[in-house]
Structure 1
Amino acid sequence: MIFDRTKLVDSLPETPMVKDSLMEWTPLGTAEQLGTYELRMTLKQDGKSPQYDSYYFTVLDPKSISAGQSPIAFLGNDGMMMYIGDYRGNRILDFSNAGYRGGGVEIPNIPVKSTVLPLDGDATERIQVAIDQLAKRPLDKNGFRGAILLKKGRYEIGGTLFIKASGIVLRGEGQDKEGTILYGTGVKQRNLVEIGENADLMLDSNSKRMISDLYVPSGSRTFHVEDGNAYRVGDQIIVLRIGDKNWIHEIGMDNIYKRPGGTVTQWSPFNLDFDRVITAIVGNAITVDAPLANAIELQWGGGEIYKYTDHARIQQVGVENMRVESDFDPSIIDIKMDNDTTDPYYADEKHAERFVVFNSVKNGWVRDVTGYHLSYSLVQMKRYSKWITVQDCQMYDMISMVTGGRRYVIHQMGQLNLAQRIYTETARHAFTVDSWVPGPNVFLDGEAVNNYNTSEPHHRWSVGGLFDNIKAPISIRDRAWLGSGHGWAGANYVTWNTQGELTLQRPPTAQNYAIGHVGSKVPGLVPNDYDPRPREDGYWCSCGQHVVINSLYKQQLMERLGRNALSNIKK
């Protein structure tokens, strides 16, 4: 029996057992301290590596929780967050590792090394030449080559700008009409700026080790492996969580009802790849830098770890202080809105889709950008993006059909990314997370108005998202047959002091949390008359009133890194 993960309270001598036998054990004494206790077990079989399992309980004085706090995530007597998990240890995640350089690090102002002036005609090639020339310079001691300054004026971009080397920042001289304007011309659907290439991580298959815990709870940073000797502190690893066909059946995603009048695609087994860095090794117990956002369960396939290298993933790159606009044909007007109709709107789609796309990139940013007339997104962070911050941006007047695959202003597909202080109008899914996204990812202090749909995890089991002080309609639910069979879209999500309409359901084998929400509680798509199978509500508390801890992310960041970290992420 362990208290607070370190203090031994009581122990049971190694005891032989046989199959189907039952043993009872009563710990000595009483729980003398308030807090969380862990019953930690090591299971040994002849000729096999040990396996591990734990169960948890919390001793709590309800009177110690001051008014206006959540009973499962609150400030203790020492002024630090205390979390009440379930009996398996699943708890609200620590989201504070999201953002540039792992959170709490100020985005630097990089010296200008090259300047581009606005001239008549297409500027794509001139800016690309400046990028390519800067890419030839050596990196400085901080990993930067320098900034390219685009002086005030209009730059017509008929193609796509590519940043393929580390340490390059593309900077303008303001977001207003008198500042730096990148203007996407022509009828080609494309991204205006792409950062990094579509390069996979290189896994070391020889380093594969099976996770030897029967159950690793969501929110944990520590787990056991068969043999930890091959690993060192500082290793970059993938923690792979397996979801086999039995788990797919358990969560009901092999029996999604067909779209009324149509078809549906049932789910196949899939894995979640958590990109982590080892911070401690004790025997075969490995601790990583950020929590795992989904429980790893041996009964559903268990987990594995691998070392990896990411030499093709660039870093220390950014886009800042400019305005982006796209040309469009105003004669194309429509009234269709998903499966409904709305007021007439501009619906041309033959023009620029996205402003900035992060491909294989870590430690990057977009800040102080205003966008107009794009069809898809202002910023998209793809699968191998990590530690990206998008902040102090606005998106107005999106131009496209109002239907699937469009108007995702901030589109999260990577992990440990932060979007803060974002304002959007006319989006479908303003703040959205894609399928099979490992998390954590954070949306902080944002607002979406004039929405055609909800901000949300969009489909197929993304995990570990935080909507923190977001004013927008939000939906975290079983999307059932929507799309091609989106099903349970998000697990282990938290909404904290949000405002607006909110749908929040609990998926099997996981949880979602709504804490301090002000606004209406909206039922999910299902159950309904067509599919009456029950779905559970998520965990709701303090509905109708914000909790006194204003921001979960900021509180967690301050506790991990100190008050200076909060100053570093302010505007």
Structure 2
Amino acid sequence: MNRIPDFSYAGYKNSEVPIPNIPVVYTIKPIEGDNTNHIQKAIDSVGKMPLNEHGFRGTLLLKAGSYSVSGTIYIKYSGVVVRGEGDGENISKNTVINAIGNTPENRTILIAGGNKNYRLDDDWEWGSRSFITSDFVQVGSHEFEVENPSLYKKGDHIVIKHPCTQKWLEVNEWGVNNDKTKFWHEGELPIVYNRYIKKIEGNKITIDAPVFNHLDKSLSRSFIYKYNRKGLLTNIGIENLRIDIHTLGRNDIKNHAENAIALRQIEDAWVKNCTMLHFWKSGVVTETAFRISVIDTKALQPYGVVTGGQRYNFNASNYSQQILFYHCHASNSRHAYVSNGRSTVSGVAVVECTSTKSYTASEGHQKWSQGLLFDNLNEIETRSESEGGNRIMGFYNRGNWANGHGWSTVHSVLWNCNARGKAISVQKPPTGQNYAIGCFGVVSGKGPFKGPIGYIEGSNKKELYPKSLFKAQYRERTGKEFDVLKTYDTSF
């Protein structure tokens, strides 16, 4: 029943087209004093330009130099790219945004998208709901039958919703099952997927990307509806920037910006060749974000207390789906690469990324996120002791921690990952599975809370084939080799 799903749909436009190189249409240099409005006005100028046939307006180029920014910058237009000249320290050659001050508190420096964390299960077209009639839709499936296919056509954007029923909770809530720790309730934590329809044949609908959890009608009656996409923005890029968040020199208070970059209410977008420093929560956070590529980007030296809710360097938060982190690097994190949006997060692939001096694990974090892939994730340098009991990576039961995290993730894979002798914890949730294949470290089913051991194979053995699961799945699906760094398109 359980099987490894295809993760290769993660990324900009399901990684089926190259990230485009959009021509520069507006250029600015830094000015003395606060550059917040200076940059914002330039973005707004590009945002007023017409969309071309490919869905882009053009690129704003920030020339090399130091840009002091005391507020938040918004890319609130589809088809706009903001590009610097490099993400290094030298301001004569690179574009450095120096984020100063703490007004408003807990701010994000650069927000791309509609800037609202819409719930997919609240954003639907009335009269468009139809129940899924298939008795069982297996994880990894692209097809199912519906009650009323006449409501839909090829190309429609839909949401698939699997309600959280009492029957589903009874079979899946193992480990969070008494009055003190029971935080999962009927009607909460639905599983939802943002998809579009590729084909309709009779009652059968084919979607663009797989589901990452079983849809079992005996436990929950799933349904679909049209997603109205109100306020959702597309085709936005952030490139070649350095965001250095200034602190007041105290590590025990939040006296500086929370996040460097947020991708929020957005689809088909990217961050490429960027470096973020000294945030207290995230270098890049995605929320209500779909088909996003974060490429060759660094989230370094978070500054703040080493405690819950802080130092999530690359953070796939609420309603993050088909997110690709590729060739990225994190340092000094609590959770370097983390799914933190509960059951609304799925299809996140962390491929050929690195981390150094982590305090605890890169992981699925809470409440049944699905379909995470850690593929060749490498911990370069470990701490002698870690907050997580030397646990560096894991898909496991988090029991009654925090607000009752319970099962952190399901149908997720660690492939050819290296924890540098530290612990990798892989446990099997009810009705699902997690996998560790060809990984290096102390790989086991041990965790902070009891749970059945997950599927573990080939630990501490070299020459796993294929070396990358993501790339092998991509090759099998498309017939092409995956290398986003070499296929950067310059055709328009």
* TM-score, structure 1 normalization: 0.77
| CA distance in structure 2 between the partners assigned to 1:428 and 1:506 by the alignment | 23
Whether 1:518 and 2:424 are equivalent positions in the alignment is no
C-alpha distance in structure 1 between counterparts of 2:267 and 2:482, whole Å: 19
Q: Does residue 1:95 correspond to 2:7, yes or no?
A: yes
2:156 pairs with 235, 242, 254, which one? 235
Mapped partners of 2:33, 2:208: distance in 1: 48
2:348 is matched with 441
Q: Give the alignment of 1:409-558 within 5 angstroms.
A: 409-413=313-317, 414-434=320-340, 435-472=342-379, 473-500=392-419, 501-522=423-444, 523-527=446-450, 535-546=451-462, 547-558=464-475
Alignment partner, residue 396 of structure 1: 300
Residue 275 of structure 1 aligns with which residue?
A: 194
Structure 1 counterpart of 2:161, one-letter code:
L
The match for 1:251 is 172
Distance 1:360 1:398 in 2: 25
Q: Who is 2:49 aligned against?
A: 137
Provide the rounded CA distance (Å) in 2 between the counterparts of 1:247 and 1:510.
12
The answer (yes or no) to whether the contact 1:393–1:422 under 8 Å persists in 2 is yes
Residue number in structure 1 paired with 2:389: none
Cα deviation digits, residues 282-326 of structure 1 (max 9, x gap): 211111111100101112222101112214211111111011111
Deviations 1:263-293 (A, max 9, x none): 6452113311111111122211111111100
CA distance in 2, matches of 1:119, 1:255: 55
What's the CA shift for 1:177?
A: 1.4
CA distance in 1, matches of 2:140, 2:486: 24
Match of 1:156 in 2: 68
Using the TM superposition, give the Cα deviation of residue 243 of structure 1 relative to its aligned residue in structure 2, in angstroms.
Answer: 2.4
User: Deviation of residue 246 (structure 1)?
Assistant: 2.0
Give the secondary structure class of the aligned counterpart of 2:352.
strand
Equivalent in the alignment of 1:78: none
Alignment partner of 1:441: what SS? strand
Residues 557-566 or 119-128, more deviating: 557-566
Residue 301 of structure 1: aligned partner: 220
Alpha-carbon distance in structure 2 between the residues aligned to 1:438 and 1:174: 32
CA–CA distance in structure 1, aligned partners of residues 117 and 448 of structure 2: 37
Larger RCO, structure (CA 8 Å, separation 6 or more): 2
Q: CA deviation at 1:238?
A: 0.8
2:110 matches 1:187: no
Counterpart residue number, 1:81: none
Distance 1:365 1:475, change over 3 A: same
Aligned AA (2:338): T
1: distance between equivalents of 2:127 and 2:59? 40
Select between 125-134 and 97-106 the one with higher mean Cα deviation: 97-106
Relative to structure 1, the CA distance from residue 256 to residue 423 in structure 2 (aligned partners, 3 Å threshold; closer, same or farther) is same
Whichever residue aligns with residue 224 of structure 1, its letter is E
Residues 246, 254 of structure 1: alpha-carbon distance in 2 compared, 3 angstrom cutoff: farther
Q: State how far apart, in whole Å, the 2-side matches of 1:502 and 1:517 are.
A: 8
* Residue 382 of structure 2: aligned partner: none
**Structure 2 CA distance for partners of 1:249 and 1:415, relative to 1, 3 Å:** same
- More deviation, 205-214/440-449: 205-214
Supply the distance in 2 between the matched residues of 1:553 and 1:569 (Cα, whole angstroms).
17
- Residue 292 of structure 1, aligned match among 205, 208, 211: 211
Residues in 2 aligned to 1:418 and 1:502: alpha-carbon distance in whole angstroms = 22
Partners of 2:117 and 2:353 lie apart in 1 by 31
Report what 1:386 is aligned to.
290
- Asked whether the 8 Å contact 2:343–2:367 carries over to 1, the reply is yes
Give the distance between the partners of 1:142 and 1:371, measured in 2 at CA: 30
Q: Which residue of 2 aligns with 1:203?
A: 124
Residue 254 of structure 1 and its aligned partner are, at CA, apart by 8.4
Alignment of 1:325 onto 2:265: no
Amino acid corresponding to residue 420 of structure 1 in structure 2: Y
Aligned to 2:312: 408
Q: Give the distance between the partners of 2:80 and 2:10, measured in 1 at CA.
A: 22
Q: How many residues align?
A: 457
Q: 1:115 and 2:21 equivalent?
A: no
- Local SS of the residue matching 2:460: coil
Q: Deviations over 1:154-193 (max 9, x none)?
A: 1111000011110111111111112111111012321001
Q: Bigger shift: 474-483 or 199-208?
A: 199-208
One-letter amino acid of the counterpart of residue 185, structure 2 = S
Maintained 8 Å contact 1:459/1:487: yes
Looking at structure 1, the residues matched to 139 and 152 of structure 2 have their Cα atoms a distance apart, in angstroms, of 23
Matches of 1:301 and 1:107, distance apart in 2: 38
C-alpha deviation, 1:376, in angstroms = 0.8
Question: Following TM superposition, by how much is the alpha carbon of 1:555 offset from its aligned partner in structure 2, in angstroms?
Answer: 1.0
User: RMSD of the alignment, in Å?
Assistant: 1.7
Please tell me whether the aligned partners of residues 265 and 484 of structure 1 are also in contact (alpha carbons under 8 angstroms). no
Q: Is the 8 A contact 1:253 1:266 kept in 2?
A: no
- Note closer, same or farther for the CA distance 1:569–1:538 as it changes in structure 2 (3 Å cut): farther
Listed as ranges, the gaps of 5+ residues in structure 1 are 1-85, 333-345, 528-534
SS at 2:335's partner residue? coil
Among all aligned residue pairs of Structure 1 and Structure 2, give the percentage whose two residues are the same amino acid. 33
Counterpart AA for 1:351 = H
Structure 2 Cα separation of the partners of residues 442 and 392 of structure 1: 14
Distance 1:141 1:564, change over 3 A: farther
Deviation per CA, 1:74-133, whole angstroms, max 9, x where unpaired? xxxxxxxxxxxx3xxx31101111101111422111111111211221100100011111
Matched with 2:385 is none
Specify the alignment match of 1:171 in structure 2. 83
Q: Compute the displacement of 1:565 (Å).
A: 4.5
2:406 alignment partner, SS class: coil
Q: Higher Cα Rg: structure 1 or 2?
A: 1
Alpha-carbon separation, structure 1, partners of 2:177 and 2:362: 23
Match of 1:349, SS state, is coil
Amino acid across the alignment from 2:145: H
> Per-residue CA shift, 1:228-257, capped at 9, x if unaligned?
222222111111112212221222358446
TM-superposed CA distance for 1:436, in Å, is 1.4
Question: 1:23 — aligned with what?
Answer: none
